Amino acid sequence: MTFAEKIAAVRAELAKQDLDGFLVPRSDEHLGEYVPPSAERLAWLTGFTGSAGLAVVLTDQAAVWSDGRYVLQLAHETDERIWTRLHVTENPPPAWVAEKAGQGARIGYDPWLISEEGVARFTDAGLTMIAVAANPVDLAWKDRPAPPMAKIRPHALAVAGVSSLEKREQIGRKLTEEKQEVAVLTDPASIAWLLNIRGQDLEFAPFALGFALLHADGGVEFFAEPEKISDDTRESLGNSVAIAPRAALPDAIAGLKGRRVRLDHAGAPAWFAQRLREAGATIVPGTDPCALPKACKNPVEQQGARDAQKRDAVALCRFLHWLTDAAGHETELSAAAQLLKFRGQIEGFAGESFAAIAGAGEHGAIIHYHATAQTNRAINPNEVFLIDSGGQYPDGTTDVTRTIWTGPDAPPHELRDQFTRVLKGHIAIATLVFPEKTAGVQIDALARQYLWHAGLDYDHGTGHGVGSFLSVHEGPVSISTHLRPATLAEGMILSNEPGYYRIGHYGIRLENLLLVQKAETESKKQFFQFETLTLAPFDRRLIDLALLSTQERAWLDLYHERVLQQVGPALPGEARSWLERACAPLGIA
């Protein structure tokens, strides 16, 4: 089908359902970041393959939105004769739809693919929002792939650290304290953490798509196709976890009549609130009760993260050594493949934690660049090469970015100035001591201050939470300009990745993962500090030593010494010699 035929088919269905329009968000039924091919409705309908977006089909026009990261990609991938291409904050969809379709227009949505809060923004704009029983896109999409059916495996206690039963009882007690009887879990990462299981329904996130109801007594109803569940998983789950097919969910919700049910209106599909109300349950608004305990890694997970990072660093350091000889005869794709090859040799490697971003020269300035056969570019001498990548291991998830000067000439002064400002911001976060109850937004500017002073900035967050053999992007805390109330707490793993992007020329990003640890002070208040987990040298040729303070230089030397100590012994001879030079005290060689 052509894109014109697809939208015509959707419009024919709208006419049948008496609708003036229909929303097609880029989400699946879990409203998360990664979706399986069977849920790529937005890409099927519009051609746009970015990770965030929304299309609206009206009877006589249609628009598709994304954010600043995807402006170019949106224009490139969609047909302007069919789609008006818009920026989500500059032209918010509710106002656009209300203007084009008119006040009171009947706009359909699939209640599985948008939250109640999301629907409310359209209702507030004066639209009549209709939850459809049959999604017009699904009716038109004849060759839609089947949903993933990968096996679900147990996540061993040796890496999980705490048994599922203990987690469930602990959260169950919290529900009781807050006078809730049941919590609806729609985030597969929360279910994976709670049940100590892992799946492979998605390419980069090792969890299984499914839903769960957690009862205050610790019992769980887990809705996932029974044939996905291996025998050892079934055994590990025990008697207090009832497994039922996804199709049993409506009846289970209907059975909650009279119960007090915790539901996240921002995170859960609107379907749940609508069905709970129909069932006569009392909805108690509340965030996902697993989100915070999942983010605060227990001591076993913390040690697992250290171990996984240390092994992962062997692959990355071998790659960085390999890269010293790459300029002139390797490409972005061949470099990414080489890194994947090195990671494949690491014990426990279970796949990439996201599609590696390997950007040479001007491609490094595209924050979410992914090299394809069409865009692939040689790695040339005397330019900047940015590599952002990560791996999944049973004991931890990694995410690391390094920015390299390919040489052989010395890099220009301006580049070194910018790189060093990014590095100073990175060190400001890495060395920070901060009190309990500090939100990420409070510390974000520490990473930006040296760039700001030169009129520079970067248009992304400074850091995101990272899961434990789960999603590389994990809530509830981030280090960013967003006014999120969640605060940093012991055991959280966060990225520290300031950057600078000179559009059309190069990108700089320096990313390590950090672990929040208690700091010893004389104060009655609890203070925290970060332990840097990631181990890889920063490119010394790009550092302007004159811009570093004594303390910053000391931190770098100490960090490099640690990298050499921990990673060096595991490297083959030539790579080890290279690492010794890369980690020598600054100002030497």
Return residues touching a second copy (CB under 8 A): 428, 432-435, 438-439, 441-446, 449, 452-457, 481, 483-485, 519, 521-523, 525, 527, 549
Q: Name the residue nearer to a second copy (CB basis): 60 or 522.
A: 522
Write down the least CB distance from residue 71 to a second copy, Å.
15
Q: Name the residue nearer to a second copy (CB basis): 468 or 487.
A: 487
Residue 432 CB burial class (10 angstroms; 0-12, 13-18, ≥19) = middle
Q: Name the residue nearer to a second copy (CB basis): 455 or 573.
A: 455
Closest to 293 (Cα-Cα) out of 138, 93, 461, 490? 490
What dihedral do alpha carbons 126, 130, 136, 138 form, nearest 10°?
Answer: 120
Write down the least CB distance from residue 558 to a second copy, Å.
16
Q: Name the residue nearer to a second copy (CB basis): 91 or 442.
A: 442
What one-character-per-residue DSSP string does 388-442 give? EE-BEETTEE--EEEEEE--SSPPPHHHHHHHHHHHHHHHHHHT-EEETT-BHHH
Strand partners, 277: none
User: Is residue 522 helix, strand or coil?
Assistant: coil
Measured CA to CA, the distance from residue 405 to residue 117 in angstroms comes to 46
Q: Name the residue nearer to a second copy (CB basis): 81 or 525.
A: 525
Write down the least CB distance from residue 452 to a second copy, Å.
5
Write down the least CB distance from residue 127 to a second copy, Å.
16
Q: Which helix (H) or strand (E) holds 10?
A: helix 3-16
- Residue pair 467/189 in contact by the 8 Å Cβ criterion: yes
Write down the least CB distance from residue 428 to a second copy, Å.
8
Write down the least CB distance from residue 335 to a second copy, Å.
31
Q: Name the residue nearer to a second copy (CB basis): 449 or 577.
A: 449
Please state, as a whole number, how many other Cβ atoms lie within 10 Å of the Cβ of residue 18: 9
Q: Which helix (H) or strand (E) holds 116?
A: helix 116-124
Structure token digits, residue 1? 């089908």
Residue 192 CB burial class (10 angstroms; 0-12, 13-18, ≥19) = buried
Q: Name the residue nearer to a second copy (CB basis): 331 or 442.
A: 442
Q: Name the residue nearer to a second copy (CB basis): 386 or 441.
A: 441
Tell me the CB-side half-sphere exposure of residue 211, using CA atoms within 13 A. 24
Q: Name the residue nearer to a second copy (CB basis): 409 or 457.
A: 457
Write down the least CB distance from residue 500 to a second copy, Å.
11
Q: Name the residue nearer to a second copy (CB basis): 311 or 424.
A: 424
SS3 for 128-177 is EEEECCCCHHHHHCCCCCCCCCCCEEECCHHHHCCCHHHHHHHHHHHHHH
Write down the least CB distance from residue 507 to a second copy, Å.
17
Please state, as a whole number, how many other Cβ atoms lie within 10 Å of the Cβ of residue 287: 17
- Relative to beta strand 197-198, strand 153-154 is antiparallel
Write down the least CB distance from residue 531 to a second copy, Å.
16
Ordered alpha helix ranges (H), 38-81: 41-46, 71-77
Give how far the C-alpha of residue 332 lies from the chain's centroid of Cα atoms, to the nearest Å: 23
- How much of the chain is helix, strand and coil, in % rounded to 5? 40, 20, 40
- Relative to beta strand 106-109, strand 128-131 is parallel
Ordered alpha helix ranges (H), 255-364: 270-279, 291-295, 299-323, 332-344
Closest to 475 (Cα-Cα) out of 457, 458, 463, 490? 463
Q: Name the residue nearer to a second copy (CB basis): 290 or 292.
A: 292
Q: Name the residue nearer to a second copy (CB basis): 109 or 500.
A: 500
**Residue whose pair of structure tokens reads 């918010």 in the numeric block:** 92
Which of the 8 DSSP states describes residue 258? T
Write down the least CB distance from residue 449 to a second copy, Å.
7
Q: Name the residue nearer to a second copy (CB basis): 151 or 484.
A: 484
**Residue whose pair of structure tokens reads 């789960």 in the numeric block:** 470
Write down the least CB distance from residue 120 to a second copy, Å.
14
Q: Name the residue nearer to a second copy (CB basis): 2 or 89.
A: 89
Write down the least CB distance from residue 471 to a second copy, Å.
25
Closest to 243 (Cα-Cα) out of 193, 191, 288? 191
Write down the least CB distance from residue 91 to a second copy, Å.
17
- Residue pair 144/122 in contact by the 8 Å Cβ criterion: no
Write down the least CB distance from residue 445 to a second copy, Å.
5
**Residue whose pair of structure tokens reads 């030079």 in the numeric block:** 581
Q: Name the residue nearer to a second copy (CB basis): 51 or 438.
A: 438
Write down the least CB distance from residue 89 to a second copy, Å.
11
